[in-house]
Amino acid sequence: MVDQANSLREIVKREKEIKENQKLKIIIEDEKERKELASRIRAVYDDTIIISMPAMDNYLIPLENLSSIKVIINGNDGDISFFAKILERKFAPVPILVITHPNHFRGINVSKNRSSRVVAITSGKGGVGKTNISVNLAIALSQMGKRIVVFDADLGLANIDVALGLKPKYSVADLIKNNKKMRDIIYDGPMGIKLIAAGSGADELLNMKDWELNRFIMGLSELEDMADIILIDTGAGISNKVTNFLFASDEIIIVTTPEPTSITDSYALIKVIVRNEKNKDIKLLINRAENEKEAQKTADKLRLVCDRFLNIKLNVIGYILEDKNISKAIKEQKALVVNYPNSEASQGIRKIAQYLVESRNQKEDNNYSNLNGFIRRLRSLFS
Ligand SMILES: Nc1ncnc2c1ncn2[C@@H]1O[C@H](COP(=O)(O)OP(=O)(O)O)[C@@H](O)[C@H]1O
Ligand SMILES: [Mg+2]
């Protein structure tokens, strides 16, 4: 641990030596052999480095996604070496690898859990329960000790503030147009959750100019200190506006009901997501099932077509039963898990919250999924 801290300190001190056009070596070692590949740095970002596809004896060696490599850069003061993870491979227009920046490991190792996880909640078809689920999942997670911010990016009419009977003073529009900071526009919800309203800023969000996007993105980076998990309640469907948020998020929860139209629309959306990124972390949530058996059947249907036609394994994170208490809570403008904590739907939501937290614990070293990555992807998608 001390060694690691020292070498990280060394990297931070000599960070300037990690720059474009630097030659580097990649060492791959297993029990049997040690390979040394040659590459060159093409671009350096805060959290990633882009390098040319490594080669040996003039042959390109396309390394596996997510594999760990040792990188050695010839610095002025001797070699700088660090471990990195391969996040992405691209072959066109030129073959490159995107790897983690060593500083990024620093953030993870030194202050664990400092980076927020970004989870989008979406659906193929509207009216399937996204807003309800976002709010109640947020509260359930908050009750488990997580700091939660919910970003209401659904441009529909049934907004989170209405569902909870709250009147936010500011929205994203004030952040973009009126020089407000994120901490000014964020408002308090039940049980310690924090909320951000898209409000009338919704239209602006979709047609942002460069400087507006910059403000928005700088605002988002303020969230890093406030949230363990950022939940985004997106609109339904496959328009650009929605998919930009989806493509940028680390994880996507797709909400579907057992109705055939909801199932086919979910499949259409999954297809769009997978076409953009084959290995996206897509989680399926079944809402409004009559019973566990119906939820299972719905999940199986989608799992089967995704497996057969898209060649992906869908993660099912749980189900929520059809429950009259949901519409009671809506009429009372209170959250279901607050007013009806023992209802069947609340129990389903708590199980899903538990699953979400546990699925993360198993992937603790998954250090590229965080707010920084989200912001970087969002920037490139909108520009
Ligand atoms: N599990 C459920 N049981 C009963 N009604 C539900 C359930 N989930 C959602 N609803 C109903 O569906 C309606 C739409 O939910 P909402 O969260 O606004 O969907 P979306 O955000 O996807 O448009 C709500 O008014 C609510 O009454
Ligand atoms: Mg909604």
Nearest CA to ligand 1 atom 15: 129
**Does the structure show a pLDDT above 50 at 348?**
yes
pLDDT tens sequence across 176-227: 778 788 889 999 999 999 999 987 655 666 666 666 776 777 778 788 778 9
Q: Among residues of the chain, what percentage have pLDDT more than 90?
A: 46
CATH number assigned to the domain comprising residue 174: 3.40.50.300
Is 320 close to ligand 1, i.e. is its CB under 6 Å away?
Answer: yes
Query: Are residues 99 and 247 located together in one domain of the fold?
Result: no
Q: Is the peptide bond before 62 cis (omega within 30 degrees of 0)?
A: no
Q: Cα–Cα distances in Å, from 285 out to 7, 173, 256, 313? A: 43, 31, 6, 14
Is 123 close to ligand 1, i.e. is its CB under 6 Å away?
Answer: yes
Query: Are residues 100 and 135 located together in one domain of the fold?
Result: no
| Nearest atom, ligand 1, residue 320 CA | 1
Q: How far is the CA of 306 from the centre of ligand 2 (A)?
A: 25
End position of a domain, from candidates 110, 135, 163: 110
Is 323 close to ligand 1, i.e. is its CB under 6 Å away?
Answer: yes
Query: Are residues 55 and 153 located together in one domain of the fold?
Result: no
Is 287 close to ligand 1, i.e. is its CB under 6 Å away?
Answer: yes
Report residue 208: phi and psi, to 5°: -70, 135
Domain limits for position 209: 117-382
Query: Are residues 102 and 236 located together in one domain of the fold?
Result: no
Is 152 close to ligand 1, i.e. is its CB under 6 Å away?
Answer: no
Nearest CA to ligand 1 atom 16: 129
Residue 80's pLDDT is: 84
Query: Are residues 326 and 183 located together in one domain of the fold?
Result: yes
Query: Are residues 258 and 153 located together in one domain of the fold?
Result: yes
Query: Are residues 82 and 128 located together in one domain of the fold?
Result: no
Residue type, 18: I
Query: Are residues 238 and 371 located together in one domain of the fold?
Result: yes
Is 251 close to ligand 1, i.e. is its CB under 6 Å away?
Answer: no
End position of a domain, from candidates 82, 110, 138: 110
Nearest to 173 by CA among 206, 195, 198, 209: 198
Q: CB within 8 A of 113, min separation 6: which ones?
A: 228
Residue 371: pLDDT band by 50, 70, 90 thresholds? Answer: confident
Domain count for the chain, please give it. Answer: 2
End position of a domain, from candidates 83, 110, 137: 110
Query: Are residues 24 and 89 located together in one domain of the fold?
Result: yes
Which of 76-90, 148-162, 298-312 reaches the highest mean pLDDT? 298-312
Residue 372's pLDDT is: 76
Probe ligand 1: pick from 287, 324, 327, 328, max atoms within 8 Å of CB? 327
Q: CB within 8 A of 22, min separation 6: which ones?
A: 40, 41, 73, 74
Residue 8's pLDDT is: 61
Is 164 close to ligand 1, i.e. is its CB under 6 Å away?
Answer: no
CATH number assigned to the domain comprising residue 32: 2.30.110.10
Q: How far is the CA of 129 from the centre of ligand 1 (A)?
A: 4
